[in-house]
Structure 1
Amino acid sequence: MAERPIFMPSQKAGRLVEETSVSFLWHKGMAPSQKKKNVSELHAAAAKRGIEPLLEVSSKSEEKLGQRLSAFNLKVELDEGGVISLECAFQGSKVFEHGGPYTDLFGVESRDAKRDERLSSSGKLVGFRFEGQDFPLIPKTAFYDWLYIRALYPHREFLQRLHRYAGFTDIEFNPEKSINCQARSCATYVALDRLELLDECARSSERFMQVLLPDSLEQPHSNKERQKSMF
């Protein structure tokens, strides 16, 4: 058995995303067929709890829409012109104690950018810098979420179909090992659209972080920040 989170656009005031963990039968193995079996098991277990339909947001999705929304496939439009993959934008914008941002990663393949050895040998991550703008580490998912929303925004009319889903999953995401998740970012996008905040948040990272911060502090990944706020 395994557990994976489902991210759902929130119906509560002041919240963007609700996260719930679901237990399901896990099929071992790295083959794409095994991962797709795990997606099916996760979605079936969620349906028994009344959470359906769901969209797997990854290259392992059975739906083309979910595949296209993978960070490896999404493109971010640059202010100076041109486009790069969201994954390259994210990895190439990291600033560390002893180096970065490594903007040369903007021009490589997504998988190569994620595996670049400098990302693990440059010390502690201290922030992000993208197109001359600095982004903090708190809210924890803010930069990744904002890149994701910026990538989706030009296709907002086509993406109205996302509203038909109760939630979003990413079978590769393990909250014990990672923080950023494309499924959470997708749920955040839908929540902002429902709240009629999408336009202003896509155009202004500052506004987006203002909107995201209260929600971020309520998420499981911000437990330490909640504890600090008590003193």
Structure 2
Amino acid sequence: MATRPVFVPCTSHIGVREVTVDFQWFAGMALSQAQKSIASLHAHAAEDGLHDLLEISSKSPDEDGVALSAFNLSFTTLKYSRTFSVEMAFQASKVFERGGPYKDLLETDSRTAKRDERLKASGRLVKFIFMQSEFPLQPTTYFYDWLYINALAKNRHLWGTLKKAGGFTDIAFNPAKSLNCQAFSAALFVSLEHAGKLDEALASPQSFLDATRDAYCAPERDQAPHSLF
């Protein structure tokens, strides 16, 4: 058995409800094994009243779920007229005690950027720098959520799929080992859009922080995310 969270957008206020679900895990690196685990997770979640879930990852059986993966979700910056994925931008923005940001990662691909050895050998992570603006480590998922939601705002063709979903999962996300989660970010996006606050939230970094502050109420999360796009 394994445990994974399901992230459900709040509709009464801006926020995300996190529900922990136990399910059968199918070991192995094959895509078929991952999709069996996803099916099991969604089936057990349905027993808890969570339906129409969308898996957001490169392992998703839904093509839009794959497109929404941080590895694939891309955006073009107006300032530099360059296009890259959320994953590439996130990894290339990390600043460590002994190096970074490693902007050359923007010239690679998502998988290469995430696996770059410098990200493990440069000491403690201290902040993020994206397009010459600095982002602190707190709130914990602040920069990642801000980055993902800004990118998603530029991909309107995916909004319909998000709005139809009852919640979101990411089979690769283990909260015991990771902090940032694309499924959480997607749920927060839906909550903002449902409340009619998306444009307001993305107007500036501070606007994002103010709009999403209550979304980070879970014990393992801090508080909230900002627009250079």
**Given the two structures, how large is their TM-score scaled by the length of structure 1?**
0.91
Q: Deviations over 1:92-127 (max 9, x none)?
A: 000111111111111101111001111111111111
- Structure 2 counterpart of 1:66, one-letter code: G
Show the 5 A alignment for 1:1-231.
1-13=1-13, 15-78=14-77, 79-156=79-156, 158-216=158-216, 218-222=217-221
- Runs of 5+ in structure 2 lacking a partner? 224-229
Q: Counterpart of 2:92 in structure 1: which amino acid? A: G
Contact 2:57 2:65 in 1 (8 A): yes
Q: Which runs of 4+ in 1 moved over 4 A?
A: none
CA contact (8 A) 1:54 1:167 kept: yes
Aligned length: 222
Q: Is the 8 A contact 1:76 1:147 kept in 2?
A: no
* Alpha-carbon shift at residue 158 of structure 1 (Å): 4.6
Please tell me whether the aligned partners of residues 142 and 212 of structure 1 are also in contact (alpha carbons under 8 angstroms): no
Change in CA separation of 1:124 and 1:57 when aligned onto 2, cut-off 3 Å: same
Q: Percent identity?
A: 49
CA distance in 2, matches of 1:158, 1:99: 36
Cα distance change, pair 68–157 in 1 and its aligned pair in 2 (3 A): closer
Q: Once the 2 structures are TM-superposed, how far is the Cα of residue 213 of structure 1 from its aligned partner?
A: 2.9
Do the aligned residues in 2 keep the contact of 1:139 with 1:213 (CA within 8 Å)? no
How far residue 163 of structure 1 moved from its aligned partner, in angstroms, is 1.4
Letter in 1 for 2:30: A
- Structure 2 counterpart of 1:134, one-letter code: E
| TM-score computed with the length of structure 2 as normaliser | 0.92
Deviation at 1:193, TM superposition (A): 0.1
CA-based RMSD: 1.5
Judge conservation of contact 1:139–1:212 (CA < 8 Å) in 2. no
- Structure richer in helix, relative to its length: 1
